Amino acid sequence: MSEIYDRQKIQDDIQKNDVILDAFSKIVSGKSNYRTVIEKKKIPLRCRKCALSLDSDRPPKFCPECGTKVWVKPVKCPKCSKGLFAEDKFCQECGENLEAPPLA
């Protein structure tokens, strides 16, 4: 669960960094001190069993509807710590399976 919080914190820190904002704004608009709004992509989170929509900002450990343990796809490989893409099913470095464990 902390991986989502870590990713969100990094995104927030980047968006609040004045040097990055100035550089990005100058690239986009061609003007200095022009502030653009950077939208954060929300990560949709649903229960794997009952498909209940869950709060992705503060995901619960268990689904409040059916009690199934909530599984969040990792952003780093749990085995080798290599960064991952959202669509990866296996780690490209070590081959670790990144799919959700089967429901009991």
Cβ partners under 8 Å of residue 37, min gap 6: none
Ramachandran quadrant class, 93 (left: phi over 0; alpha: psi -120 to 50; beta: rest): alpha
pLDDT of residue 35: 67
Per-residue pLDDT of the chain (104 residues; tens, 9 = 90+): 467 667 777 777 777 777 877 787 788 777 767 766 666 667 778 898 999 988 877 778 899 999 999 888 888 888 998 888 878 899 988 999 988 888 86
CA distances from 73 to 3, 17, 38, 56 (A): 9, 27, 24, 12
